[in-house]
Structure 1
Amino acid sequence: MLRSAGGTWVRVLAVLGLAISGLAVTAPASYAGTSCSYPYCSETYNQTSLPVYVAHNWCGDKEWLIQSAPPCGAKSSDYWLAAGQHTDSHQDWDTFRVDAYWCYKFQRYSVIWGWESVETVDRRNQSAPEWVRVHNDETAYIIKQSSSSC
């Protein structure tokens, strides 16, 4: 499974540097619930020609979960985000699913940290989907889905 950790290391180094200098910067974590305080509302944009499954809630501290059900269990508000669409603004959409036997590429934008590196989640040889966490300061842009290549 491929994952670019560049954005994560940039965050770690930036926070470490600020902590050493005595400044504090905190990015709100994603959490269970649909409420948020704009601009700290996680969103997902589907920039592909295929639908993406999204869910409101993220439970726990992990960044990735390999399981069929959404991280906090299925809710009636979870849905297939159509091609070219985005989740409702000013709501809290904490996660999207990378389907089994598929490869997704996405990029996150943080209102605190700016653009992160393009990330790849390759589930092409895996029988279970993987959920990707979107923090409250982030917008995820799904830029590619493929069952044949990454």
Structure 2
Amino acid sequence: MRRSLKSAAVLAASAIAVVLFGPAPVAQAGANCSILGCSGTQNDSQYSITVYRHWCGGGNNADGTTAKPTCKLDGVAQQEATRAPGTGTSPNVDWDVFRVDAGWCYKVRFKSPYHTDFDHTYNMSGTTSVALYVKVSDDWRAHVMSQKYGSCP
């Protein structure tokens, strides 16, 4: 009996919350940040980096592709920007991609308030004309820690 009263109270409180606040928003890919936060990139290296607003395909955080992202999402055109050393993308605007230039190697630390941080090395030092575009998922911030031309730092 006590359990059914407790369940009924929880159900009633949930119904009241939906009426007062509306249903919870669904996290989704797009031009805007998810309920968990925005994606972004911080340049902690000694050289400038290039970032893009939209990731144009599927995949997971830290995945890379050689296809340059050119899509338009939610009516927002693709944007490209350069970030100088010591700067980053706005924490309130969704920036989904950073570029690893041909011939370069980047060491990157991915940080999130909800997941375990991890490091990844993107080695494009053996290429001369192909860049790698790396996905940064919502609620993650990629920190480009170092970069070097011709080999990994």
TM-score, shorter chain, exceeding 0.5: yes
Structure 1 unaligned blocks of 5 or more: 1-27
**Which 4+ residue blocks in structure 1 deviate beyond 2 angstroms?**
69-73
Structure 2 unaligned blocks of 5 or more: 1-26
Q: What is the alpha-carbon root mean square deviation over aligned residues?
A: 1.9
Deviation at 1:38, TM superposition (A): 6.2
**Take 1:65 and 1:32, find their aligned partners in 2: how far apart are those partners?**
18
Counterpart of 1:51 (choices 48, 51, 59) is: 48
Match of 1:100, SS?
coil
Q: Which residue of 1 aligns with 2:81?
A: 79
**Take 1:70 and 1:97, find their aligned partners in 2: how far apart are those partners?**
10
1:42 aligns with 2:39: yes
The structure with the larger Rg is 2
1:111 aligns with 2:113: yes
Query: Structure 1 counterpart of 2:96, which letter?
Result: D
Query: Structure 1 counterpart of 2:135, which letter?
Result: R
Match of 2:106, SS?
strand
1:1-150 matches, cutoff 5 A: 28=27, 31-33=29-31, 35-37=32-34, 39-62=36-59, 63-67=63-67, 69-70=68-69, 72=71, 75=77, 77-116=79-118, 118-126=119-127, 127-150=129-152
Q: Percent identity?
A: 31
